[in-house]
Structure 1
Amino acid sequence: MSPTLLGALLMTASMASFTLNDALLKLTAGAVPLAQLIFIRSLITCSLMLATKGRIGTMHFDIARRDWILIGARAATEISISYFFLTALFKMPLANITAIMQVVPLAVTLASALFLREAVGRRRITAIVIGFAGVMLIIRPGAEGFNIWAIYALLAVLGVTARDLITRQLSPQVPSMTVALSTAVAVMVSFGLVSLFGPWVSIAPDIWVLIISSAVVIMAGYFLSIWVMRVGDVSFTAPFRYTQLVWALLLGWFVFGEWPGWMTLTGAAIVVATGVFTFYRERKLSAA
């Protein structure tokens, strides 16, 4: 198997893992208060990260003060993402929220041009505008299907965009696992404190299975996403991120009996097409 093909398969498997994680959390169906759920899942994730230290990636904490400030800012965005995304996930069809999240690469490209002064040509700007039009088809402002949960999903997109911009500012010497663990700890502590102001509930065995499986699957997704960066051509494998939408459609159909309407599918197709185009343009410009 060529490194490029291996990279594509790893990216696809990574997206499958992240989507399965979402489905597992959605299956808890509000049986556990959100703050308690995120705290427990984060606690398990932190434990798994510490248990696998050195196996997935290097981890050390000898980092410059500037990078610690950026890691703290990144953790703050992750806390907001966890709240908005999971709240929307419990209220929206899996494929719908996944389709909305696919606009993140376009949003990051636009934000990089606005805030980091990165060069973005006319063609990519056009693709971004068309991509956001696709999102409008998905959420349909003014239509009966539009509600506060669609706004929560868009707020999650803004959070992920800010998180990725902050991540770009980190020094290359900062280990990914250090960033991941620091973020997981911040999320765990934050929602642990919030959970103290509300009732805790006893968790049924089947819900424990879902939560633990979610933590294991998201760790697998993180491991695969790191592995894919070490093999093959990243610019070639990046568009395979959009296979996440395929997994969301399949899981939404088989697990939750959900299937999006034609406007949602059309909007999702537009977002994916424009996203792939921007990856293609970036790859072509990088090779020039």
Structure 2
Amino acid sequence: MKIFVAGSTGVIGRILLPKLVKAGHEVIGMTHNPEQQKTIEALGAKSIIADAFDPEGMIKVLRDIKPDVVIHQLTSLSNSSSADNARIRIEGTRNLVDAAKQAGVKKIIAQSISWAYKPGDSPATEEVSLDVQAPSPRKTTIDGIIALEEAVAEIPNHVILRYGTLYGPGTWYDRRDVMAEKALNSELQATNGVSSFVHVEDAANAALLALDWSTGTLNIVDDEPAPGTEWVPVYADALKAPAPEVQSGGSGWERGASNTKARKEYGWEPKFPTWRAGFSQALS
């Protein structure tokens, strides 16, 4: 198949591209930065310059390429700005979907998140509503996710991957990134808020496998949602960081997510079924 990957140089895209190429697909990786073209080509894909915020440009690019599948991995995380990330989810997704429809694209696979559900006492399944009543500043993120998922669903054959918190190479939880720095500086507190994680390789594998999956929305998370009182000490220990400060409390939406649907209905099996082993392997 001819596959167009938007967000091809992100932490998932860099792992996904060679997997797609190895599987025998013709892969075109999109970037807005000319300096990233060599990175894309080194991963075995063709590269193209395009701006997700340029609707006419996106239409021309996809009309010229005529891909069979669009994989949407667009994010804007370099400045840690929820507003920037929401903007690309709203405007960038809108432009990508409109261009895909005009190019006759048959299928789209899109990145979403698994911590957008409304508050609750147990890990959320995909049937749980998103947190539409979220107060600010969380509302910014939720509005972006709602807009993204609604736009993607306009293409009948679509798979929405609600990823857990990513860890592994190139993520915020990498040894050289922001969460590790917080742990090493005793700034990462262990609370009762529950998180669901997924290793970045498992996230990329899910996007690859989704080429053959039927339309649906799936939580792509590992098997063990856990409160910070459990996972933060394990993460700190893997970094050889000081034991974290324990602080009671947590937000109602910090409930984690269930991967039962992805496992039982779609046959997804994470290589890293729990963060307990995954942290130590990722940080070794």
TM-score, normalising length: structure 1: 0.29
Q: Give the number of the structure whose residues are more often helix, by fraction.
A: 1
Whose strand proportion is higher, 1 or 2?
2
Larger RCO, structures 1/2 (Cα 8 Å, 6+ apart): 1
